A and B are shown apart, each in its own frame.
Chain A
Amino acid sequence: MIPRNQLDLRKFVAPEFVCGHGALRLAGRYARNFGMRHVLLVTDPGVRAAGWAGAVGESLAEAGVSFTVFDSVSVNPRSREVMAGKETYLAEECNGIVAVGGGSPMDCAKGIGIASSNMRDIRVFEGVDRVPVPAPPLICIPTTAGSSADVSQFAIITDEERKRKIGIISKALVPDISLLDPEPLTSMPRDLTVDTGIDALCHAIEAYVSNASSPMTDMHALEAIRLIVRALPAAVEEPDDLNLRFSTLLASLHAGLAFSNASVGAVHAMSHSIGGVYDVAHGRCNALLLEHVMAANYEAASDRYDRIGAIMGPGRETPAEKVAAFRKALGVTGTLAAAGVRGDAIPALAEAAYNDPCMVTNPRNLTREEIERIYKHAL
Chain B
Amino acid sequence: MHSEPPDDRGTLREKIIGLGETSLHKSYYPELQSRLAELERFRALLDQTYDAIFLIRADTGILADVNASVRAYLGYSKKELLKKPFVDLISPSRRAKFEEVFRGSGNLPSESRQTFIAPLVARDGTEIPMEITVRSVTLGTEQYIVAIARDITERLLAERELRIKESALESSTNGILIADLTGAVMYANQSFAAIFGYEDTGALAGMNLEAFFADPTVGEKVTAHLLDNHTIVQETIGLRNNGSPFHIQISGSVVQNDAGRPLCIMLIVMDITERILTEQMKRETYAQLGKNIEQFAILGDHIRNPLQVIVGYAEMIDDPFAEKILEQARRIDDLVTELDRGWVESANVRQFLRRRGDGTGSLKEALFRFSKRNKEDL
Question: Given the complex of chains A and B, what is the CA–CA distance between A360 and B16 in angstroms?
Answer: 9
Q: Assess whether A269 is in contact with B1, with CB atoms less than 8 Å apart.
A: yes
Q: Assess whether B26 is in contact with A176, with CB atoms less than 8 Å apart.
A: yes
Closest chain-A Cβ to B163's Cβ sits at a distance in Å of 49
Q: Assess whether B23 is in contact with A212, with CB atoms less than 8 Å apart.
A: no
A 126-146 binary contact with B (CB < 8 Å = 1; else 0)? 111100011100000000000
Question: Given the complex of chains A and B, what is the CA–CA distance between A360 and B12 in angstroms?
Answer: 7
Query: Contacts A166-B2, A167-B2, A169-B16 known; A11 to B23 CB distance under 8 Å?
Result: yes
B 7-19 binary contact with A (CB < 8 Å = 1; else 0)? 0010011011111
Q: Assess whether B1 is in contact with A165, with CB atoms less than 8 Å apart.
A: yes
Which among A53-61, A71-79, A349-357 touches the partner chain?
A: A349-357
Q: Assess whether A129 is in contact with B22, with CB atoms less than 8 Å apart.
A: yes
Interface centre among B2, B13, B21, B28 (most CB of A within 10 A): B2
**Which of B12, B19, B25, B28 is the one whose CB lies under 8 Å from A357?**
B12
Q: Assess whether A355 is in contact with B19, with CB atoms less than 8 Å apart.
A: no
Nearest-CB residue, chain B, relative to A174: B26
Query: Contacts A11-B23, A165-B1 known; A211 to B18 CB distance under 8 Å?
Result: no
Neighbouring A residues of B20 by C-beta, 8 Å: 128-129
Question: Given the complex of chains A and B, what is the CA–CA distance between A360 and B25 in angstroms?
Answer: 22
Q: Assess whether A134 is in contact with B27, with CB atoms less than 8 Å apart.
A: yes
Q: Assess whether A212 is in contact with B13, with CB atoms less than 8 Å apart.
A: yes
Q: Assess whether A13 is in contact with B18, with CB atoms less than 8 Å apart.
A: yes
Query: Contacts A11-B23, A261-B18 known; A126 to B13 CB distance under 8 Å?
Result: no
Question: Given the complex of chains A and B, what is the CA–CA distance between A11 and B31 in angstroms?
Answer: 23
Interface residue A307 (Cβ < 8 Å from any Cβ of B): no
Neighbouring A residues of B27 by C-beta, 8 Å: 134
Q: Assess whether B12 is in contact with A355, with CB atoms less than 8 Å apart.
A: no
| Chain B interface main SS type | loop
Interface extent on A, as a size class?
35 or more
Neighbouring B residues of A211 by C-beta, 8 Å: 13
Question: Given the complex of chains A and B, what is the CA–CA distance between A174 and B19 in angstroms?
Answer: 16
Question: Given the complex of chains A and B, what is the CA–CA distance between A176 and B19 in angstroms?
Answer: 21
Interface centre among A166, A171, A269, A361 (most CB of B within 10 A): A171
Neighbouring A residues of B17 by C-beta, 8 Å: 10-11, 212, 261-263, 361
Which residues of chain A from 321 to 379 have a CB within 8 Å of any chain B CB? 352, 355-358, 360-361
Interface residue B24 (Cβ < 8 Å from any Cβ of A): yes
Neighbouring A residues of B12 by C-beta, 8 Å: 128, 357, 360
Interface residue B154 (Cβ < 8 Å from any Cβ of A): no
**Which of A9, A171, A357, A361 is the one whose CB lies under 8 Å from B1?**
A357
Q: Assess whether B25 is in contact with A174, with CB atoms less than 8 Å apart.
A: yes
Question: Given the complex of chains A and B, what is the CA–CA distance between A128 and B22 in angstroms?
Answer: 10
Interface residue A282 (Cβ < 8 Å from any Cβ of B): no
**Which of B13, B21, B25, B31 is the one whose CB lies under 8 Å from A171?**
B25
Nearest-CB residue, chain B, relative to A153: B18
Interface residue B234 (Cβ < 8 Å from any Cβ of A): no
Question: Given the complex of chains A and B, what is the CA–CA distance between A361 and B23 in angstroms?
Answer: 17
Query: Contacts A133-B31, A134-B27 known; A11 to B19 CB distance under 8 Å?
Result: yes
Interface centre among A170, A261, A352 (most CB of B within 10 A): A170
Q: Assess whether B25 is in contact with A361, with CB atoms less than 8 Å apart.
A: no
Interface residue A38 (Cβ < 8 Å from any Cβ of B): no
Neighbouring A residues of B16 by C-beta, 8 Å: 128, 169, 212, 263, 357, 360-361
Which residues of chain A from 130 to 189 have a CB within 8 Å of any chain B CB? 133-135, 153, 164-167, 169-174, 176
Closest chain-B Cβ to A332's Cβ sits at a distance in Å of 25
Closest chain-B Cβ to A184's Cβ sits at a distance in Å of 25
Q: Assess whether A361 is in contact with B13, with CB atoms less than 8 Å apart.
A: yes
Neighbouring A residues of B19 by C-beta, 8 Å: 9, 11
Question: Given the complex of chains A and B, what is the CA–CA distance between A256 and B18 in angstroms?
Answer: 15
Interface residue A284 (Cβ < 8 Å from any Cβ of B): no
Q: Assess whether A171 is in contact with B9, with CB atoms less than 8 Å apart.
A: no
Q: Assess whether A11 is in contact with B1, with CB atoms less than 8 Å apart.
A: no
Closest chain-B Cβ to A289's Cβ sits at a distance in Å of 15
Query: Contacts A134-B26, A171-B18 known; A272 to B31 CB distance under 8 Å?
Result: no
Interface residue B3 (Cβ < 8 Å from any Cβ of A): yes
Interface residue B80 (Cβ < 8 Å from any Cβ of A): no
Closest chain-B Cβ to A119's Cβ sits at a distance in Å of 13
Neighbouring A residues of B26 by C-beta, 8 Å: 134-135, 171-174, 176
Interface residue B4 (Cβ < 8 Å from any Cβ of A): yes
Interface centre among A172, A174, A358 (most CB of B within 10 A): A172
Question: Given the complex of chains A and B, what is the CA–CA distance between A130 and B13 in angstroms?
Answer: 15
Closest chain-B Cβ to A265's Cβ sits at a distance in Å of 11
A 270-303 binary contact with B (CB < 8 Å = 1; else 0)? 0011000000000000000000000000000000
Q: Assess whether A356 is in contact with B1, with CB atoms less than 8 Å apart.
A: yes
Neighbouring A residues of B22 by C-beta, 8 Å: 129
Binding site for B on A (CB under 8 A): 9-11, 13, 126-129, 133-135, 153, 164-167, 169-174, 176, 211-212, 261-263, 269, 272-273, 352, 355-358, 360-361
